[in-house]
Amino acid sequence: MSESAPVYRVLARKYRPQRFTELIGQDAMVQTLGNAIRRDRLAHAFLLTGVRGVGKTSTARLIAKALNCIGPDGTGGPTIDPCGVCEPCVAIAEGRHIDVVEMDAASHTGVDDVREIIEAVRYSAVSARYKVYIVDEVHMLTKNAFNALLKTLEEPPAHVKFLFATTEVNKVPVTVLSRCQRFDLRRIPAESLAAHFQRVVDAEGVTVEEEALALIARAAEGSARDGLSILDQAIAHGAADGGVTADQVRDMLGLSDRGAIRRLFGQLLAGDVPAVLGSVAHQHALGVEPAALLKGLLETVHGVTRAKVGGADDLALSAEEREAFGDWASRMGFATLHRLWQLLLKGHAEVQTAVLPREAAEMALLRVVHASQLPDPQDLARRIRAGELGSAEAPAAPAPAPEEQRPMLAEPVLPRLPQSPQALYDHLIEKKAHRLASCFEGARMIRFQPPEMVIAAGQGIGPGFGKELQDCLNPRIGELGERWTISVQDGIGRPSLLDEAKAHESAARDALLATPVVAAAFAAFPDAELIGYAPEDRGDDPRSMSR
């Protein structure tokens, strides 16, 4: 009877780390564990947290090996570099060691499952140095299960070690966290993943383009397991001779050609609407998801911004991308880049929740085209201040009545009475009567016929104000000049100087908002606000002559 063919093992399992040196991207954790083992300062419980595929379960098994390794000659002790050939190492690697118990908390969530562990920890290890419990996805345990484990977790027997792994550490009770030594496993950098994948394909005897490996590493988002799964799929998707190209990986993942993304980005900046819509239609026909299209544009804006600030080059970028990013960075300001980022980010969120994703993507890109044709707000403000841009004239406040022509008198010349409330206000300012001027500014006139004045009573305006104002304006005894008669009565009166000034300011502000440039800016940024605006002093501003 012929032997059966060996069962194929996927790359993610075949290349699972068997030594700490094979654990990529976690150097800080390995150093800490190594020092703890060498100094015999091992904690009784470890919590390993991080995103999927960064090596949490693999690290737990490596720790179990390190604690129970006896060396090739059977006389070794705990070591950060387990031999991998002794019986404990082999049995743990194959998942059959009786003293290393792995439990999936996603399917064993209750108190009864934890009670089995609590009862078993009382007994010594059968053949290993330590009895090790590896609990994967520990955050799935119920509250009662966690509570049942607390006492044992705090004071376990000396021969027991707990290793917990979770992707959602925020769901683990703080009472458990305080009893564990925590290790946060980092996302694996794309450069390290690409180098790791290169070693894998070399071992597999497969030819894969360097750009294809970079695309897979980027799509893995820091997860070695995800990347190896994608690589496995790419090898199966590749040509019959085993070669894998970048174009094949793009087709497999539904990624847009990065060259097409750069062309679309250039069309957005140029404001070429037909070309933008044509590019979106072409990418849609190729099967590229609208969200992926927006994500590619976001990556482009990020790449241009990094190039502008002089950040380190992304090794996953091609030479053409680096050159294009550098060129755009030299011609675009930070304000424009930040504005593009916000618009595209908002568009990406809309596309992900839209009933019509393609249409939502087109509308988002049209919004970007419209914004790209607007001047930079700071530059716009500078040009307005410099008078380079014209603006609609604000409606002027009603002009004061023309002063009556008084006949020329022979000497001595009598002082002229102020012929308007504004002129009277200015006269008070000249006399340094600022308190009276402030009150008069808010006063409403029932009748103003110099030298007679009737003021409407109101807040701060009483009979005493009329007398005080009259004493301030009238000439002293013996001096020439007409004498004012000022009274305060109940009534409505005409708008005060302060009311007219506010109306003038509001009209000027509305006129500014109505100018084409500002109106276009608010259309592009609906949530924008005009703040800190103050109209320039004008001759028709009731308060401009005195301030």
Are 171 and 274 in a shared domain? Answer: no
pLDDT score recorded for residue 30: 86
Are 160 and 39 in a shared domain? Answer: yes
Specify whether the CB–CB gap between 439 and 460 falls below 8 A: yes
Are 158 and 196 in a shared domain? Answer: no
The residue-averaged pLDDT of 344-366 equals 92
Specify which residues 131 forms β-bridges with.
160
What confidence category does residue 374 fall into, taking pLDDT thresholds of 50, 70 and 90?
A: low
* Cα 15 from Cα 91, distance rounded (Å): 17
The residue-averaged pLDDT of 201-211 equals 87
**Residue 130 CB coordination number (10 Å):** 22
Q: What is the CATH number of the domain that holds 218?
A: 1.10.8.60
* Cα 227 from Cα 217, distance rounded (Å): 6
Among 253, 271, 289, the domain-final residue is 253
Are 215 and 126 in a shared domain? Answer: no
* Cα 382 from Cα 333, distance rounded (Å): 15
Q: What is the CATH number of the domain that holds 122?
A: 3.40.50.300
Note whether residue 514 is domain-resident.
yes
* Cα 83 from Cα 90, distance rounded (Å): 9
pLDDT score recorded for residue 84: 86
Are 68 and 167 in a shared domain? Answer: yes
**Residue carrying structure tokens 């290890």:** 125
Predicted structure pTM score: 0.55
Are 531 and 520 in a shared domain? Answer: yes
The secondary structure of 143-188, three-state, reads HHHHHHHHHHHHCCCCCEEEEEEECCHHHCCHHHHCCCEEEECCCC
What confidence category does residue 362 fall into, taking pLDDT thresholds of 50, 70 and 90?
A: very high
Domain of residue 234, residue span: 190-253
Number of domains in the chain: 4
**Proportion of the chain above pLDDT 70, given as a percent:** 83
- For 451-517, the DSSP string reads TEEEEE-BTTB-HHHHHHHHHHHSPPTTS-S---EEEEESS--SPPHHHHHHHHHHHHHHHHHHSHH
Are 430 and 482 in a shared domain? Answer: yes
**Residue carrying structure tokens 């592009």:** 524
Q: Which tokens is 204 given? A: 């597999």
pLDDT score recorded for residue 394: 40
Which one is predicted more confidently, 311 or 150? 150
The residue-averaged pLDDT of 24-47 equals 87
Note whether residue 107 is domain-resident.
yes
Note whether residue 5 is domain-resident.
no
- For 368-434, the DSSP string reads HHHHHTSPPHHHHHHHHHTT-S--PPPPPPPPPPPPPPPPP-PSSPPPPPP-SHHHHHHHHHHTT-H
Mean pLDDT, the chain, integer: 81
Note whether residue 382 is domain-resident.
yes
* Cα 13 from Cα 266, distance rounded (Å): 43
Are 298 and 380 in a shared domain? Answer: no
* Cα 310 from Cα 330, distance rounded (Å): 11
Are 28 and 170 in a shared domain? Answer: yes
Note whether residue 407 is domain-resident.
no
What confidence category does residue 346 fall into, taking pLDDT thresholds of 50, 70 and 90?
A: very high
In tens, the pLDDT along 317-338 reads 666 777 888 888 888 888 888 8
Note whether residue 396 is domain-resident.
no
The residue-averaged pLDDT of 344-356 equals 92
**Proportion of the chain above pLDDT 90, given as a percent:** 14
444: pLDDT strictly greater than 50: yes
What confidence category does residue 254 fall into, taking pLDDT thresholds of 50, 70 and 90?
A: low
Note whether residue 6 is domain-resident.
no
pLDDT score recorded for residue 239: 57
CA–centroid distance for 78 within its chain: 45
Note whether residue 411 is domain-resident.
no
Are 160 and 288 in a shared domain? Answer: no
The residue-averaged pLDDT of 385-396 equals 52
Are 201 and 284 in a shared domain? Answer: no
Helices (H) and strands (E) in the chain, counts: 23, 8
Are 61 and 92 in a shared domain? Answer: yes
197: pLDDT strictly greater than 50: yes
Among 224, 253, 282, the domain-final residue is 253
Q: What is the CATH number of the domain that holds 359?
A: 1.20.272.10
pLDDT score recorded for residue 164: 93
Please compute, for residue 360, the number of CA atoms within 13 A of its CA located in the half-sphere on the CB side.
20
In tens, the pLDDT along 108-154 reads 888 888 888 898 888 888 888 899 999 999 999 999 999 999 988 98
CA–centroid distance for 2 within its chain: 61
413: pLDDT strictly greater than 80: no
pLDDT score recorded for residue 161: 92
